[in-house]
Amino acid sequence: MTRLVLVGPPGAGKGTQAGTLSEKLGVPHISTGDLFRAHIGDGTELGRSVQGFLDEGKLVPDEVTNEMVRERLADEDTAGGFILDGFPRNIAQAEVLDKILAESGQKLDAVVSFQIDEDVVVARLLGRGRKDDNEEVIRHRQHVYRSETEPLLNYYRDIVLTIDAVGEVNEVTNRVLNALDK
Ligand code: AMP
């Protein structure tokens, strides 16, 4: 059973690692950023309501985000585990996640923390070219990470695995798999 949360600053390579780990571990990759972008791309009402937050690098309100995650975690493919990428992003979301999992007798196995310098991630993001990747928005997203998301590492301190996120993609994947004993 593999129920994981990936935590790391924007640009740490979480999404890429989540994709690879999802294949290797045979559990779905659930990225709240991807879910929001899919809604925006499909022109749904939810998409229209969250677009401004994504454009400015601000967190989407918890009620919207938590409800979307609650629905996604109710899908059958998550019964054998999942990799959450980009959720939770603050303590309030973490508390809701605990509650959602507890309702079906589940709990997280590990929280993988990707460690990388801010200078390295900002340089990476500037090269990525996503719509929310201009310098001002990038800076803001790093600030949101430090103030809202990083405190999760203390919240989850008993199950955190700290991974050096600097290096080749497959090297970093191997570090995670080793830390997970897989
Ligand atoms: P990401 O692809 O994870 O970098 O997320 C892109 C954007 O989606 C973020 O800058 C937020 O605007 C929004 N977002 C993603 N996940 C969350 C979350 N858990 N809570 C609030 N907003 C989120």
Gap between the Cα atoms of 140 and 163, Å rounded: 24
pLDDT above 80 for 150: yes
The larger pLDDT score, comparing residue 174 to residue 126, is at 174
CATH class held by domain 2-30+81-181: alpha beta
pLDDT of residue 12: 95
* Predicted pLDDT at 167: 95
Which positions ≥6 away from 99 have C-beta within 8 Å? none
pLDDT value of position 173: 98
Q: How far is the CA of 4 from the centre of ligand 1 (A)?
A: 17
Q: How far is CA 165 from the centre of its chain?
A: 15
Phi, psi of 153 (to 5 degrees): -65, -30
pLDDT average, residue stretch 19-47: 98
Average pLDDT, the chain: 95
Helix (H) / strand (E) element for 4: namely: strand 2-7
Cβ–ligand 1 contact at 53 (below 6 Å): yes
- Contact criterion met (CB below 8 Å) for 36 and 132: no
- Is 54 marked as binding a ligand? no
Instruction: Encode pLDDT of 45-55 as tens digits.
Output: 999 999 999 99
In the predicted model, what is the mean pLDDT of residues 104-132?
Answer: 91
127 known ligand binder: no
**Substitution site in 5, 46, 53, 60 for ligand 1 pocket (most atoms within 8 Å of beta carbon):** 60
Q: Is 11 in the pocket of ligand 1 (CB under 6 A)?
A: no
* Rounded distance from Cα 32 to ligand 1 centre (Å): 6
**For a pocket test of ligand 1, which of 5, 32, 51 has the largest count of ligand atoms closer than 8 A to its C-beta?**
32
* Confidence band, pLDDT 50/70/90 cuts, at residue 10: very high
| Single pTM value for the model | 0.95
Among residues 73, 75, 84, 77, which one has the least CA distance to residue 106? 73
Name the residue with the closest Cα to ligand 1, atom 1. Answer: 33
Quote the ligand 1 centre to 6 CA distance (angstroms). Answer: 13
Rounded Cα gap, residues 83 and 94, in angstroms: 14
